[in-house]
């Protein structure tokens, strides 16, 4: 399973103001479902990721774990029309889900007056 996110910040060990114990790059992401997460960026694309990019994150469960734990690794950078279309589609699904859940909660509320 993969989820799209929008890059808020790139955290690179070569950036001023960052002291790192390793050479890995992380990205802080605004996910399609309004979560904000910081994930490892796959080494092959770490030098290419930028703020504002739409990325695809690997949420598949880690192997050999007793409970499912997502990998949480940025594996693709999407740019251009394809990225805009994907981001918009996921956001529309999320907004529809929120509206439906809001209506269901309102229907379940009882009036005590």
Q: How confident is the model over 67-79, as a mean pLDDT?
A: 93
Predicted TM-score of the model (pTM): 0.81
pLDDT higher at 2 or 109: 2
Domain span including residue 92 = 2-108
According to the model, what pLDDT value does residue 100 have? 76
Residue 68 lies in a domain: yes
User: Which tens digits make up the pLDDT trace of 10-64?
Assistant: 999 999 999 999 999 999 999 988 899 999 999 999 999 999 999 999 999 888 8
- Is residue 95 in a domain? yes
What is the per-residue pLDDT for 97?
85
Question: Is 81 inside a domain boundary?
Answer: yes
| Percent of the chain's residues with pLDDT above 70 | 90
Hey, how many other C-beta atoms are within 10 angstroms of the C-beta on 59?
15
pLDDT value of position 68: 87
pLDDT score, position 106:
66
The whole-number pLDDT of residue 73 equals 97
Q: Residue 79 domain-assigned? A: yes
Structure tokens at 52: 């504002």
Indicate the number of domains in the chain.
1
> What CATH number is associated with residue 47?
2.40.50
């Amino acid at each position: 399973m993969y989820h799209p996110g929008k890059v808020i910040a790139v955290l690179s060990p070569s950036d001023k103001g960052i002291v790192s114990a390793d050479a890995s790059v992380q990205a802080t992401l605004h996910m399609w479902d309004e979560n904000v997460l910081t994930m490892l960026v796959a080494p092959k694309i770490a030098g290419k990721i930028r703020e504002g990019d739409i990325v695809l994150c690997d949420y598949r469960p880690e192997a050999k774990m007793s409970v499912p734990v997502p990998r949480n690794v940025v594996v693709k950078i999407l740019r251009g029309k394809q990225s805009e279309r994907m981001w918009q589609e996921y956001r529309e699904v999320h907004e529809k889900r929120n509206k439906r859940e809001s209506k269901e909660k309102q229907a379940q509320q009882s009036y005590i007056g």
